[in-house]
Amino acid sequence: MPKFRMIAASAAAVVTIGLAGCATNPTEPGNAPAAAEMDHVTIQLDFSPRGLHSVFYVADQLGFFEDENIIIDDILPGAGSGDTLRLVGQGQGDFGSADLPTLVVARSQGVEVTALNAINQNSPLAMCTKADRFKLDTPADLKGLNVGVQANGSTYIFYKALLAANGMSQDDLTEFTVKPPYESYLLTDQVDTVPCYIDAEIPILEEHAGGEGSLSIMLGSDWGYDAYGTGVFTSQKMIDENPELVQRFMNAYTAAFEYVTKNPEEAAEVLAGTSPEFAKNVDLYITQLGVDISSSFVSEDTEANGLGSMTAKKWQATIDMLADQKVIETIPATKDVYDSTFVDAATK
């Protein structure tokens, strides 16, 4: 069994980081219904907003959702992919964003949620250390380190799968249970390593750790963690009962996604302008989007089929990886974890 120890939660947080549709085609000019007839939806994020979440805000603020006869009642921050998946699965939110391997885990546990696209074509998850203390050249360099983990999050699923993919076990490290924002435990040397998102925490971590090069970063996708990253999802009930709304939502999202990839600075400004709390983060959002645009938004598949596209082959590989590494016990069918028909139609 892995060795767990609790760290006091008082560590300094250095890082702050129903269908009312019309019979007419709502996308045709002249068919826009009155506001009272438009569909109202709520979006549940997996974390506090970061660069890639700007697509939702751009789609809302610049009228992409309105063009599809959708009104966004709220975009709610989350406390992790697992919680967000359960909330939307229970109907406490209509659409959401979450780590897609975590969606497989949720589906295996009976949470009926389905991926609609893959925002990150490759997972942006990595293991990180302070470079002046430990260098991570291979997974074997993790042996003997103290690792900060959050046992109900997407990062924990990644961490366990990464170890298993490289012939290691959780017994090779000492696990400390930490609470978000757990990156602060790394910066204050209370742990030696943490799982981290290269498109989220890394710019902030580097700034506090001493600038570019101050972190040693080992990307999971370089060491056997072959999986999608974050994606848009909804409940299976929504797909079954309101497929036309799902299609219009994905039409708007996909158009905004393309806009964001071409206008990342504007997207960052839009996101920052939605809250006084976000206003100071423009540069951070630009940096985060730059990482995503250069490393994970585009793949051979998206070049052929459009942004957000998904393949059965990669989904099956993800399921097989999680099953082989004992991350899941009940194995869901590929057709149950994703439905690409909506993003495929949107990109065409």
Tens-level pLDDT at each residue, the chain (348 residues): 444 333 433 333 333 333 333 333 444 444 444 445 899 999 999 999 999 999 999 999 999 999 999 999 999 999 889 999 999 999 999 999 999 999 999 999 999 999 999 999 999 999 999 999 999 999 999 999 999 998 777 899 999 999 999 999 999 999 999 887 777 899 999 999 999 999 987 887 888 888 888 999 999 999 999 999 999 999 999 999 999 999 999 999 999 999 999 999 999 999 999 999 999 999 999 999 999 999 999 999 999 999 999 999 999 999 999 998 888 999 999 999 999 999 999 998
DSSP helix/strand/coil, 91: coil
DSSP annotation of 171 reads: G
Residue 100 CB coordination number (10 Å): 28
Q: What is the pLDDT of residue 229?
A: 96
CATH of the domain spanning 37-122+228-347, picked from 3.30.565.10, 3.40.50.2030, 3.50.50.60, 3.40.190.10: 3.40.190.10
Homologous superfamily of the 3-13+123-222 domain (CATH): Periplasmic binding protein-like II (3.40.190.10)
Q: What is the pLDDT of residues 198-254, one digit of tens each?
A: 998 788 788 888 888 899 999 999 999 999 999 999 999 999 999 999 999 999 999
Question: Three-state SS for 216?
Answer: strand
From residue 334, alpha-carbon distances to 79, 115, 155, 276, 313 in Å are: 27, 11, 22, 42, 9
pTM of the model: 0.86
Per-residue confidence (pLDDT) for residue 112, from 0 to 100? 97
C-beta of residue 107 within 8 angstroms of C-beta of residue 336:
yes
* Interatomic CA distance for residues 72 and 70, integer angstroms: 6
The pLDDT of residue 269 is 98
Residue identified by tokens 């302008």 is: 273
The 3-state DSSP composition of the chain as helix, strand, coil percent (nearest 5) reads 45, 15, 40
| pLDDT digit string, tens, across residues 259-304 | 999 999 999 999 999 999 999 999 999 999 999 999 999 999 999 9
Tokens of 185: 């435990």
- Residue 34 carries which DSSP code? P
Ranges of CATH 3.40.190.10 domains, the chain: 3-13+123-222, 37-122+228-347
- Residue 204 is predicted with a pLDDT of 79
DSSP 40-87: EEEEE-SSS--GGGHHHHHHHHTTHHHHTTEEEEEEE--S-HHHHHHH
Angle at 172 between CA 108 and CA 158, to 5 degrees: 30
Distances in Å between the alpha carbon of 170 and those of 5, 70, 89? 13, 46, 30
Q: Phi and psi at residue 36, in whole multiples of 5°?
A: -65, -20
pLDDT of residue 22: 35
Give the C-alpha separation, 4 to 148, whole Å: 10
- Is residue 165 within 8 A of residue 321, CB to CB? The reply is yes
In angstroms and rounded to an integer, the radius of gyration of the C-alpha atoms of the chain is: 20
Decide the pairing of beta strands 113-115 and 230-235: antiparallel
Residue 214: per-residue pLDDT: 94
